[in-house]
Every structure is written in C-alpha cells, then in structure tokens.
Amino acid sequence: MQKMGNSVWIYRICVLYAFCAPSIVFASFTSQDSFFIDCGGNKVLELDDGRVFKPDSGNSIVGLSPNSLIVISDPQMTISDDDSAFYNSARVFKEKSAYTISTKQIGRHLLRLHFYPFENPHYDLKSAVFSVLANGVTLMYRFSFSNSRRLTPFFKEYAVDLSGTSSKRLSLALSPSNGSIAFINGIEVVSLPNKQFPSTAMPVPLGPEVEIPPHLALETAYRVNMGGPLLTPKNDPLWRTWEPDFPFLLNPASARNVSENPSLIKYPDGVSVEIAPNWVYSTAQEMADANVSDQRFNISWEFAVEHGFTYLIRMHFCDIVSIALDRLVFNVYINRQSALDFFDLSSKTMELSAAYFVDIVANLSTGSDRILVQVGPPASRNLPSNAILNGLEFFKMSNPHESLDGNLPAAGIDSKMPDKKNWLVIAISSASAGFALFMLISVALFLYLRKTCPKKPKHQCLSWIPVPTTQVRNLDSKVSIGSSTSTAHSLGLNRVLAFSEIREATKNFDESLVLGVGGFGRVYRGVLENGTLVAVKRGNPKSQQGLTEFRTEIEMLSKLRHRHLVSLIGYCEEFNERILVYEFMAGGPLRKHLYGSNLKPLSWKQRLEICIGAAKGLHYLHTGAADSIIHRDVKTTNILLDENLTAKVADFGLSKLGPTLDQTHVSTAVKGSFGYLDPEYYRRQQLTEKSDVYSFGVVLMEVICARPAINPALPREQVNIAEWSMNWQKKRKLEKIIDPHLIGSINLESLRKFGETAEKCLAEHGSERPTMGDVLWNLEYAFQLQEASIQTLSAENSANYIPDIPEWLPQIESTNGDGANTTSDREFDTASSMVFSQLMNPKGR
C-alpha cells in the first residue's frame, strides 16, 4: 500500500509539472539587483532557469582587486552541464583581495557563493584554506575542501544587509591563510523584498517577541519542500533550491505525502511567491493512518546545526488536506518545546489552499547541535487527528561578533597572523609535549603489564588505554574526514580498534556478512585477528545521526559487566567512522524465535528461562550498577540470544541514568518504540525504572502470544498487544490467546503466574507496578511451577495442562511487527511500515 501510494503521488507530480508549469507566473516583485558573476570566465553563460552569468573581468558593476589570477579546469574534468558551466573556471587570490559590487537597492540581498576545486596543474584548489567576509561579516573561516572525500560543486547562500553602506556597495573579501590561496567560481547577488525577513519573531521557549535587527546577516542552513520533489531555481522566482524532506524524517511511516495542483494555491495579503513558490505550498506531509482508533503521535524531522547560534525557523503551511474550514487543528514543537498550541490554520487564512507562514526563533547556545521539528494533534480535541507541514527554512543568524562561522569576530580574519601568535604557539607546543609525555608513560606501562601478563595465548592479552571514563565527552567533537588517526584513543573506555583491523575482520565490510541494517548503520559478522567472533555495528559515515547513541552506548557499556548484558568489546572513531564491536550473539534477537522466521518454536521452559535472563539483566541495570540505569528501549529485538539461548539485553543508545536518592524521576523527552512505551512516561515525560518494567510487560505478552507488539493488519481491538492481552488476562482466560505451539505442554498454574506478572507490569501507573526484582522472583516461581509439574505429572493425564483451545482466535502473523530489528530502534520493516516505532512526543498527552 505504501509503495502504491508513492507511485500515485509521483504520477500526480509528473502530471502537474507537465500541464501546470506553463500557467505559473512569478510576478509582483521585480528585483532591482540581479547580478550573476562567472569568476575567471571568458564568455557569457545563459542558464535554462533564466540566470545569465557574465565574466568578472571587464564588468562595469564589479570592482576587482589587482594581483588575482584566472585558472581553468582540465579539459578532461570540465563540467558539461550548461547549468553548472561556470564551475569550469575560477578566480584565484594569493593575498587578501576583494570584489566590490555596486548595487541599486539598499536592504537585504541574497548572496550565493559557488566553489568547486577542480584539477589544475598550477594550483591545488582542494588544499586551499581561506576565509570570506561580506561587508565586515565573517561568512566562512579557514574553509577548505581538503577534508572532503568527494569533490562536487558547492555553494553557500546568505542574506546580507546593505542599509549601512551609503554607497550601495557589497564588499566581498577573500583572505587566504598563511601560505595558501583563496578561490571562487561564481557569485550571485539578488535584492530581496523589504519584508522578506521579519523584524520580530516568537521565541522557543515561548516568551516576548525577539527583535531581529536589519543589520544581522543570515545563512541559509536548510530549505526543505515537505512531501514534494526537489525544486530547482527554475521553480523559484529568487532562484532558490528546495530539497525533499525525506532525509530528515525520523520516522517515514508516520507521514504520507499529499499534493494539490499548484495553480490552485492562493496568496493572501502578506504572503507572496517570493516567500515560497506555489510548488512548496502544493505539497505537504500529513499524519499517516496507523489503523488505530486514536492516533497520538507526531511527525518528526531532525536537522544537524551548529550550536552557539540563534536560528530563524520559517514554517510554511497550506491546508490542502481538509474538505472544510475549521477541521485542521494541531500543535507544533521545536526541540520538544511548544511553539504553536492548537494551531488553527483556517482561522489565519479564512480559506483552504491558502499560503501561510510562521517565523520562530530558536537559540542553541546551550550546546545542542540538533533541531527537532514536530507536528502532531493536540491532547484534547473533537476533530480527526491530523497535522501537516508544507515547507521549512532554517537561517543561522550572525552572532554579536558579526560572524556566521564559529563565534569568530570579523576583526580576527586577516592574511597575517594576529599578535597572539607567540603565546598560541607556546600553548600548542606545551600541549603537544605534555601529550607526548603522557603517551610515553602509557606505552611504558603497557609494556610492563604485558611482560607481567600470565603465559596465555597471545590474543588474551589485549591493549587497553587507562584513561578516565569522564573523557567520553570528547566524542562530541567531530572527526575530520580523512583523518589519519583516531580521536577515540582519548576515551579509554574499552579496547580501541583501528579501522584497518575492523575492515580486515569484516573482509572489507563484505555484504555477505551483513547481519542486519538499521538507522545507525549496518551490522556485520566479523572475526578479529585473535579469532574472536564479533558483531560490528558500523555507523553511516555520510550522516551525523547516531552520534549521541554512539556516545551513550560506549559510556553505558564501559561501566557494565553482567552475564545477561551484551558486552562491548571495543569501538573505533577513525576516518569519520563510528563503529561499535560487540560479542557475537549467534541466536539473534528473541523476536526471531517467536514469530516471523522458520526457526524451531521455543518451548515454554525455554521462554521462561529467556525472560528470567532478561529480567536479571534489567534488574542489574536498575540496582546493581554504580548508578541506576534506565534502558528506555526494552523490546524483543533488543533481547539477544547466544548459541545456548542465554538472553542478554542489548542496545543502550537511548539509555539514561536513573533518578538519584533525592529524586523520584528523570525529566526527559519521550523516546522509545511504539507499542512498548510506558503511557505514564508518555504523558508526563517523567522517566523511572518502572518505565522499563512496563516495556518488559509487553515483552512478556509477546513471548506468550508469539505476535508483534503492534500489528495494524489485525482487527482494531487486537492491534495493540498490551490492550488486547490485558482484556483476556483480566477475564482470567489468557490461555485462549497463547501461541498454538505451547498447547499441551504448558502448565496452567505456571501460565497464570506468568499472566499475573505481566498484568502487574502493564499497570497504568508506575507506582502500581512491581520492581524488576519482584518481576524476576515471580518469573522464577512460574518456572518452578512448570518444572514441578513436569516431574510429578505426565502431559497425557494432567488436568493442569492446557490440552486444546477450540475457540482459538485467528492471528495474522507478521514477520516484523514492531518496526525494528536487532540493529536499531529506528528501522521500519515492510509489514509494519504504517507503525510509528521511534516515538518522540515533546508534550505529554
């Protein structure tokens, strides 16, 4: 159904492009300044989108500093695409130089800078290191392509103000770092309407309006077309590019794309095509149908940003889904904080298919490097649950130092080193000497320990770096692509593995060794040099997603050692790789042994032993570690089995430290997997160990019923296993819905004790649930009841065994019902594509 929906959507978009495009007219505003400059070019380039790039030399509008050089690309490397032909030449500077562009209009202008380090026999553009300023505002500081693996054309877009320049000039300065060069391929300057950006905006958290002075420069961080295709400059009156939103969607199954004929979009007063073209407002993401009676989830998008800056977030809305006014009311959250409550779009536009936008300011000075945007239904409502978003723009605002790059004041940029050079060199030298001394001591200690190590096989004496675990925060720093050494050696939490060692262990990440694929990346089966069989979880190197989970996993597992917790053998953070290496669990996830595979069904005794083992692992987390730890993502895919079916709890990427002695809970955003989520934690955002107890209760019901926690394919009353199984348990008829493979072998008293334990775990309020220690005791008692019955009774004549169930309820088996596999809580399997499995609701409902 999902694929069919996408096909229909793609067909509709194609029809709209084919028949509606000629009727779309970009009118109303005429830009007085539209300068397109081909730096180093020698002829006029006319692009299909209407832009005409002219050479910078001999251009009456452009003033250029002397001593610049023109370089052209190798003929074999020339870009043949007419719309990117200006990347075939560049202007090169050996010292600080500037373009001076005379404009007709004051106010804010869009400034686009184009770069492409093509091959040239005389200058290595890839290794160039330089800074860029516009009218004194630092746009880029010591920028370089040297860390990039793939060399592709690249552009940056800014909005700079020319109101303070009486001569109506834009001065664009390029400053090479010492001994390097600067270069640029193309420049665009386009004047903007006076009210393109607001003078004030509402902040998050909510408070008085924030002033946005006109002199502030802005950098476009993202411009996204929700639910629609890539929009190129051909589709935008200001030649902007709008990218699709799919890469930013945390849970694709939570949303579905909708579209409307672009020619039907209306622009009320205050909104124009310069704000966003009708192509943006004619598509949207709305809440998907999860086939449940009461849809309570959000559509979530996550964006990586630079912390320490304030961001202007522009959200575009257009009601293209309602059949009447006053039918669409929803909430909007930014970073889990309320931005718009009970937002009634029709009350703003007074008509359907009318464009509307909202500006919000978010400050990231607290150190966060992510912005989470969510839309979802309000808590109390009498309307169908739905929420939409059509478009989204992020603009980074210049800081008080007039900088858009790393809090650097503009005065600090120059081709010469500042006066602080001497003490800076001394500081760096001292730090290097100290580090070298530290390494010598570490090596000496290692050699000493190795000599005193007992005579065992070579692979038993592993090297471990004895650095305090508090240094785990160093993981926040990003590793440059192409780094020759790993920064992970400073962590000292587990064995630090070289990337080359991991690559050899996995046969260069051979596809045949893939165990599973998740949101963090792929998991491979590997064999280390010493013969140890391991599971290698490799993060996606093209994405910064998963960095927090990577850090948390190492930080948590470095403190934990228990028979029923999966052990972390080592990790690697090298060459921009984030890799975790675990002990290999030959049995795979518990879920695979319950349903969705051809494995031999587990006996009741085996199931009890597995539940007891998992309970022991969770009980240790809650009480046995130095600090109480809440797993926060207990489910059957995170309980792994070894070759002997010994259960071990895995995946600590979402784990949190529990409350201290003077606390009753931990206040945190809601994270977990749909179907396993503690309803009290969901409503109040207050996390306790009892949240894990609730999730474990769902696991217990999966074990006895052998079906997914959420299965939208079933009748409505059976979709959620917690609700469905509790209805039968409260009737004391749980035996009517158990796995058919257990019929005739399960002791009725043992089943009743098991069901009572699960019922207590699934209590609505945490105070009514048992501790994991109590759960463990009850499960062991259920096991003893089963064992005792086997010893004293035979299955043929025992009234305590369940012989058969004629009223057996039909079950629709789903291979992947909870929307996750062993490697990640974010993966969506085909059978559960309509399930929102990574739920993050910032406001309890």
**8 A C-beta contact, residue 739 and residue 769:** no
Distance CA 697, CA 815 (A): 21
234 is in an annotated binding site: no
DSSP state of 605: H
Please confirm whether the linkage preceding 205 is cis (ω < 30° from 0).
yes
User: Cα–Cα distance between 807 and 512 in angstroms, integer?
Assistant: 45
Taking a C-beta distance cutoff of 8 angstroms, is the pair 47, 82 a contact? Answer: yes
Burial of 159 (0-12, 13-18, 19+ CB in 10 A): buried
CA angle, residues 299, 301, 302, in degrees to nearest 5 = 145
User: What backbone torsions phi and psi does residue 477 show, to the nearest 5 degrees?
Assistant: -75, 135
Hey, how many other C-beta atoms are within 10 angstroms of the C-beta on 784?
13
Burial class (CB in 10 A: 0-12, 13-18, 19+), 454: exposed
Neighbours of 497 (CB within 10 A): 23
| Widest distance between CA atoms in the chain | 103
Strands (E), 499-646: 514-517, 521-527, 533-539, 568-574, 577-583, 588-589, 629-630, 639-641
Please tell me the distance from the alpha carbon of residue 31 to that of residue 190, in angstroms, as a whole number: 7
Q: Note whether 564 and 617 are within 8 A (CB).
A: yes
DSSP code per residue over 205-219: S--SPEE--TT--EE
Q: Which of 38, 633, 651, 678 is catalytic?
A: 633
Instruction: DSSP for 443-485, please give it.
Output: HHHHHHHHHHS-S--GGGS-------GGGGGGGGSPPPTT-SS
Is the Cβ–Cβ distance between 573 and 490 less than 8 Å? Answer: no
Residues whose CB falls within 8 Å of the CB of residue 376, separated by 6 or more in sequence, listed in order = 287, 296, 297, 298, 299, 330, 331, 333, 387, 841
The closest of 621, 616, 497, 619 to 556, measured between CA atoms, is 621
Cα 225 to Cα 258: distance, rounded to the nearest angstrom? 12
In the structure encoding, which two tokens stand for residue 73, read together? Answer: 């690309």
With beta carbons less than 8 A apart as the criterion, state whether 196 and 242 touch.
Answer: no
Q: Name the one residue in this structure whose structure tokens are 């945190």.
A: 668
Task: Collect all residues with Cβ–Cβ distance below 8 Å to 581 and sequence separation of at least 6.
Answer: 497, 502, 526, 528, 534, 535, 536, 537, 568, 569, 570, 571, 572
Residue type for 793, please?
L
Residue where the block lists tokens 């961080």 = 221
Residue 332: beta bridge partners? 340, 375
Tell me if residue 38 is catalytic: no
Tell me which DSSP letter residue 488 carries.
Answer: G
Q: How many CA within 13 A on the CB side of residue 25?
A: 5
What does the H/E/C string look like for 383-396?
Answer: CCCCCEECEEEEEE
Rounded Cα gap, residues 266 and 354, in angstroms = 5
Residue 571 DSSP SS3: strand
The closest of 252, 373, 372, 383 to 321, measured between CA atoms, is: 383
Active site amino acids: 633
Binding-site residues, in ranges, read: 537
Binding-site residues for ATP, in ranges, read: 537
